[in-house]
């Protein structure tokens, strides 16, 4: 995962950059406070939406379940990918690599942002809006051997959301502006928390534990993580300028937080919300405990980084907090067995306040 880091001219590898004036205390407080807030939003709303996603019958919105085997392999796959990117940036022209990646994330970003804003935008459409239903269907074979490859249902409202997201995509592609980057980054994070589901708490512990080691090694053991994070021009991190008060929207001295440091703890927090709902006690103790733990861990990351003036692996602090705090609560309540025996197949009931997919609801009524 990319770490929380201040992108000052003296930091990182490569040729020395022109010296920048140090960020003011006000600018740093605004930057890091904004990063924390931006990290919390996709976790909170993504967790709520993951409850509805777990019950969805729409094939285009079915969650991807992460098993213990997937969790064990993930740090290895992530390490190979990170090292591969590092070598690519060392061997090939950074300009052409980032151009290719920009086009790739341009398409993914538009789709992710469209999916993110769709439930919110439905509230702004008038009741008499001419909403037509469409279906994108690709099949293979014929007759009884016919097999669906793609079956995606959408409507006119989804097309409007796609058009709005395309405007942001073009803005990002042409300007690489940090606001456009963050809109895509937030959309990727929220979709990740919503659609990636851990099948049980043990799998979550394996995944977080493995990535804990991964993050610490690649940040403290080598300069690979920092180099890739600063060379990679793609919305895989949230950024916020520390000189916003001085330069406005053209500020360029950024603090950053990798999306992995949001999504990985986020899917574990979302699992705990679904566990809370499965208990049917009308309390979300484990969800709120882990949510507060995330705030504590991220705040500690920023504090340590500020004290030692060195990029920090955020999962070094987030993983013990997000696992340890709920485990202590389970021990205090005598629910450790229930916590570790919970399986994702246990369908949760609907959480109060969770946003509904109005498109799906409307299609059900029509049927």
Spatial distance between the Cα atoms of 22 and 9, rounded to a whole number of angstroms? 10
- Centre a 10 Å sphere on the Cβ of residue 120 and count the other Cβ atoms it contains: 12
Mean pLDDT across the chain: 84
| Bridge partners of residue 148, in order along the sequence | 139
Distant-in-sequence contacts of 21-25, Cβ < 8 A, 24+ apart: 23/242, 23/243, 23/253, 24/242, 24/243, 24/245, 24/246
Give the helix/strand (H/E) hosting 183: helix 178-195
Given 155, 158, 261, 357, the catalytic residue: 261
Token output for 67: 């098993």
**Domain boundaries defined on the chain:** 25-125+151-341
| Bridge partners of residue 153, in order along the sequence | 135
Residues of the chain falling short of pLDDT 70: 1-20, 56-61, 345-367
Best CA proximity match to 291, nearest among 57, 46, 83, 76: 46
The answer to whether 124 and 147 are in contact (CB under 8 A) is: no
Residue 229 gets which letter from DSSP? Answer: H
Most distant CA atoms of the chain, gap in Å = 70
Q: What integer pLDDT is reported at residue 367 of this predicted model?
A: 40
The answer to whether 309 and 239 are in contact (CB under 8 A) is: no
Angle between helical axes of 201-216 and 315-333 (0-180°, round to 10): 150
Q: What integer pLDDT is reported at residue 58 of this predicted model?
A: 57
261 catalytic residue (yes or no): yes
158 catalytic residue (yes or no): no
Q: What integer pLDDT is reported at residue 95 of this predicted model?
A: 81
Given 215, 243, 276, 357, the catalytic residue: 215
Q: What integer pLDDT is reported at residue 60 of this predicted model?
A: 55
Give the 3-state DSSP-derived string for 269-329, with helices as H, strands as E and coil as C. HHHHHHHHHHHCCCCCHHHHHHHHHHHHHHHHHHHHHHHHCCCECCHHHHHHHHHHHHHHH
Q: What integer pLDDT is reported at residue 360 of this predicted model?
A: 42
Token output for 348: 């949760």
Q: What integer pLDDT is reported at residue 347 of this predicted model?
A: 42
Spatial distance between the Cα atoms of 109 and 86, rounded to a whole number of angstroms? 23
Q: What integer pLDDT is reported at residue 73 of this predicted model?
A: 95
Spatial distance between the Cα atoms of 20 and 249, rounded to a whole number of angstroms? 17
Q: What integer pLDDT is reported at residue 363 of this predicted model?
A: 42
Q: What integer pLDDT is reported at residue 57 of this predicted model?
A: 53
Best CA proximity match to 252, nearest among 235, 270, 240: 240
Residue 353 gets which letter from DSSP? Answer: T
CA 216 to the chain's CA centroid: 20
């Amino acid at each position: 995962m990319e770490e929380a880091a201040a992108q000052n001219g003296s930091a990182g590898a490569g040729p020395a950059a022109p010296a920048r004036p140090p960020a003011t205390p006000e600018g740093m407080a605004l930057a890091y406070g904004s990063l924390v807030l931006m990290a919390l939003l996709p976790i909170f709303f993504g967790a709520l939406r993951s409850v509805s996603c777990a019950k969805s019958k729409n094939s285009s919105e079915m969650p991807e379940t992460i098993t213990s085997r997937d969790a064990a392999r993930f740090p290895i796959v992530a390490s190979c990918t990170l090292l591969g990117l590092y070598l690519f940036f060392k061997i090939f022209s950074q300009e052409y690599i980032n151009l290719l990646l920009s086009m790739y994330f341009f398409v993914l970003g538009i789709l992710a942002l469209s999916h993110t804003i769709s439930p919110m935008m439905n509230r702004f459409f008038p009741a008499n809006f001419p909403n037509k239903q469409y279906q994108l269907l690709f099949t293979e074979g014929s007759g009884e051997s016919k097999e669906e490859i793609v079956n995606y249902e959408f409507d006119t409202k989804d097309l409007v959301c796609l058009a709005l997201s395309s405007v942001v995509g073009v803005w990002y592609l042409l300007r690489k502006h940090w606001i456009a980057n963050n809109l895509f980054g937030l959309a990727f994070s929220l979709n990740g928390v919503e659609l990636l589901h851990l099948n049980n708490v043990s799998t979550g512990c394996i995944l977080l534990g493995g990535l804990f080691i991964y993050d610490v090694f690649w940040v403290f053991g080598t300069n690979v993580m920092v180099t890739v994070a600063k060379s990679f021009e793609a919305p895989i991190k949230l950024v916020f300028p520390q000189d916003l008060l001085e330069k406005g929207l053209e500020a360029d001295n950024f603090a950053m937080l990798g999306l992995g440091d949001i999504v990985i703890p986020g899917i574990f927090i979302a699992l705990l919300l679904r566990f809370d709902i499965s208990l049917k006690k009308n309390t979300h103790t484990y969800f709120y405990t882990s949510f507060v733990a995330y705030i504590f861990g991220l705040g500690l990351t920023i504090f340590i980084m500020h004290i030692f003036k060195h990029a920090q692996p955020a999962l070094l602090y987030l993983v013990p907090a997000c696992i340890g705090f709920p485990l202590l609560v389970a021990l205090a309540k005598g629910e450790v067995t229930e916590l570790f025996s919970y399986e994702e197949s246990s369908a949760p009931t609907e959480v109060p306040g969770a946003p509904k997919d109005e498109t799906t609801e409307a299609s059900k009524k029509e049927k």
